[in-house]
Amino acid sequence: MKTGTRTALRPELLLSEPQKRILWHLRAAGPTPRVHLAEAMGMNGATMTRVTQQLSALGLVEERDSDAATGRGRPMIPLAICGRGGWSAGATLHPGWLEITVVDFAGTPLLRDSIPFTDPDPRMFARALDTQLRALVAQHGFMRGKFLGLGVAVPGYALQGDRNRRKMVDWMAPWNDAPLDEILGDVLGVPVWIENDGTAAALAEYYRPQIVGAYRSVLVFFLGHGVGAGLIAERDLFPGEHRNAGEVGRLFPGHGPRPSGIDLMRELKEAGAAITSLSEIAGLLESHAAVIEAWADRVAAQLEQAVLSGIVWLDPGAVVISGALPQSVLDGLATRLDAINTARDRGYLAATPQIHASTLGSAAVVIGAALAPIHAITAIRM
């Protein structure tokens, strides 16, 4: 994938604030005629025409067919985000395998791939990823357009406020305090964004049409091998002073029961189940229903204060329960937390956030990693 020297690794797409505002409006509201865009954004018609023509020339927006008639003259043609405007890739490392996803500019996942991988060296990870991305580029014609960058989601918190230097889980110890953007960027030769896996999951959840179109701020919990979270505030990632906002795993020390998928696996094993990965939980939903229900009751109680704290500080429009767990388990946790919040908030007259269960499952992390370059290029900084 290498295309140039290390010093040249910058996003290829630089947008103005008016261009970003239009893209975000279209992402949130869906296809919209120029006249309505101008009204919503306080722009005059000439400015709107000029800016949308620029976006169209970049391939980032396109006109859509419209059945609406205006009575006379040309019908109002809606503009929409154009997926062909570019593509980005996301990657994450699991024990024993490497996962890759590609998304287009609209945020639509185009493919999801995985390969066996066990080497803990980040340079070897970069080389394996480079080889696999080259193979995917050769196989898929849609990837001949503008490449916007690579996002890598990692299970580790930032050190010294540097998103590119992190303390990782034990099996990724060689990644600790390494300049990951330089290491990966030097091998791959592309712009690289490093994100915590909970933050990446939050980005994926927020870009779902039913979420981005309804809310400006969202709190996301991701339950997988550990427990993490991410915050979207006013349509942008909220990193925190030290870039560790959402590091909720600290609330649940590893020496005790935790609201994580690995914790559920442990309980299932203690109940006699032969299980070696999170993906096998779905096959135990009926045979071990009582164990899973008891675990969900306990986890909802554990998460209550974390959810409540996030709600009172962030005032989000929604809370999303995401993770590498079966859909029915995520649904059950969301239902339990909603019931807890409803009971506690009885008599509270202000609006309270909706609690949603994710439908992305374990893919949320790698999809969010792939969205990181697109978000970085288009986000409106307050």
Over residues 277-304, the pLDDT tens digits come to: 898 999 999 999 999 999 999 999 999 9
Q: Does domain 86-202+366-378 have CATH number 3.50.50.60?
A: no
Same topology, domains 86-202+366-378 and 209-359? Answer is yes
With 90 as the cut, is the pLDDT of residue 132 above it? yes
Q: What is the pLDDT of residues 224-233, one digit of tens each?
A: 888 999 999 9
Segment (H or E) for 91: strand 87-94
Tracing tokens 């309804």 back to the chain, one arrives at 214
With 80 as the cut, is the pLDDT of residue 2 above it? no
Highest mean pLDDT out of 5-14, 62-71, 85-94, 135-144? 85-94
The answer to whether 162 touches 190, Cβ cutoff 8 Å, is no
pLDDT at residue 4, rounded to an integer: 41
CATH of 209-359, one of 3.50.50.60, 3.40.50.720, 3.30.420.40, 3.40.50.800: 3.30.420.40
With 60 as the cut, is the pLDDT of residue 69 above it? no
Query: What's the whole-number average pLDDT of the chain?
Result: 90
Q: What is the mean pLDDT of residues 7-17?
A: 68
Instruction: Give the single-character DSSP code of 288.
Output: T
Q: 75 falls in which pLDDT band (50, 70, 90)?
A: low
pLDDT at residue 256, rounded to an integer: 83
Instruction: Give the single-character DSSP code of 290.
Output: H
**Architecture of the 8-81 domain:** Orthogonal Bundle (1.10)
Q: Report domain extents, the chain.
A: 8-81, 86-202+366-378, 209-359
What does 133-172 look like in DSSP terms, one character per residue?
HHHHHHH-GGGGS-EEEEEEEESEEEETTEEEEEEEPGGG
With 60 as the cut, is the pLDDT of residue 211 above it? yes
pLDDT at residue 137, rounded to an integer: 84
> Among 328, 247, 318, 253, which residue's Cα sits nearest to residue 295?
328
